């Protein structure tokens, strides 16, 4: 592996940095976007059951908020009812929606960075390719001109330039393809979670309004 890196030249180092960063982002998103951390399956029904006879205590609400992203959204509605039992439906929904926007921003965290890596890696590989081609033709200047680039001149420089060109192109694609796949996967996963949170928040808001009546 070290010999490949040496053969690829200095343009490979930005690609290696991108690969390490992409791997870290992918692992972080896999952990952060687990269902248990975002929207546990039975949490909505449990929250509705706990609040069926009245708004629960502050400790119960705080525990719900720490449970998951969905719990944080539901807890914001309970806090609004605790703060002002006579709050209007519009105020209640505005509070829940505000918390939902904050949660949505957190769920989308780092996705832009991962998408940027997926877009930039092929360009970095192309830059390495161009640099390799420059070295190929530049090595011929002292030995007869560009016309000897493919058939003579300095074979060692020619081989080195080709190595830089090909290795950087390959590394760029090897980084960009997985990054793009995982970006699309996480994007669709976040969209599904946001829909789940929106529907659950609407149902819970109607439950709290009915409870107040």
DSSP structural state of residue 165: H
Q: What is the mean pLDDT of the chain?
A: 86
Q: Cα(182)–Cα(188) distance, rounded to whole angstroms?
A: 10
Q: Which of 187, 202, 182 is nearest to 25 (CA)?
A: 182
CA 193 vs CA 109, 168, 196, 199, 209: distances in Å: 14, 37, 5, 10, 24
Q: Cα(61)–Cα(58) distance, rounded to whole angstroms?
A: 5
pLDDT (0 to 100) of residue 45? 94
pLDDT (0 to 100) of residue 1? 61
* Weakest mean pLDDT among 43-47, 52-56, 123-127, 149-153: 149-153
Residue 68 pLDDT > 70: yes
Instruction: Quote the domain boundaries for residue 208.
Output: 2-212
Distance of CA 130 to the CA centre of its chain: 30
pLDDT (0 to 100) of residue 213? 65
Asked if 169 contacts 126 with a C-beta cutoff of 8 angstroms, the reply is: yes
Asked if 138 contacts 175 with a C-beta cutoff of 8 angstroms, the reply is: no
Q: Report the pLDDT averaged over residues 197-206.
A: 94
Q: Report the pLDDT averaged over residues 1-18.
A: 76
Q: Cα(94)–Cα(159) distance, rounded to whole angstroms?
A: 65
pLDDT (0 to 100) of residue 129? 83
Model confidence over 35-56: pLDDT tens digits?
Answer: 999 999 999 999 999 988 888 8
Q: What 3-state DSSP class applies to 134? A: helix
Q: Cα(164)–Cα(154) distance, rounded to whole angstroms?
A: 16
Q: Report the pLDDT averaged over residues 118-136.
A: 86
Q: Report the pLDDT averaged over residues 105-111.
A: 95
Q: Cα(122)–Cα(116) distance, rounded to whole angstroms?
A: 11
Residue 4 pLDDT > 70: no
Number of domains in the chain: 1
Residue 109 pLDDT > 60: yes
């Amino acid at each position: 592996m070290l010999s490949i890196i040496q053969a690829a030249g200095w343009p490979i180092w930005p690609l290696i940095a991108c690969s390490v960063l992409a791997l870290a982002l992918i692992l972080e998103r896999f952990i952060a976007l687990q269902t248990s951390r975002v929207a546990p399956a039975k949490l909505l029904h449990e929250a509705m059951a706990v609040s069926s006879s009245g708004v629960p205590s502050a400790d119960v609400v705080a525990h719900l908020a720490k449970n998951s992203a969905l719990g944080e959204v539901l807890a914001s509605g309970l806090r609004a009812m605790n703060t002002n039992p006579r709050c209007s439906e519009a105020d209640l929904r505005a509070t829940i929606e505000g918390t939902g926007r904050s949660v949505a921003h957190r769920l989308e965290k780092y996705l832009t960075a991962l998408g940027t890596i997926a877009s930039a890696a092929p360009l970095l590989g192309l830059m390495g390719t161009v640099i390799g081609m420059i070295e190929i033709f530049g090595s011929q200047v002292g030995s007869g001109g560009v016309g000897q680039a493919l058939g003579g001149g300095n074979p060692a420089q020619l081989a080195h330039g080709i190595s830089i060109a090909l290795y950087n192109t390959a590394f760029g694609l090897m980084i960009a393809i997985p990054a793009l796949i995982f970006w699309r996967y996480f994007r669709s996963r976040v969209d599904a979670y946001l829909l789940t949170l929106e529907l659950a928040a609407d149902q819970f808001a109607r439950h709290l309004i009915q409870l107040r009546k």
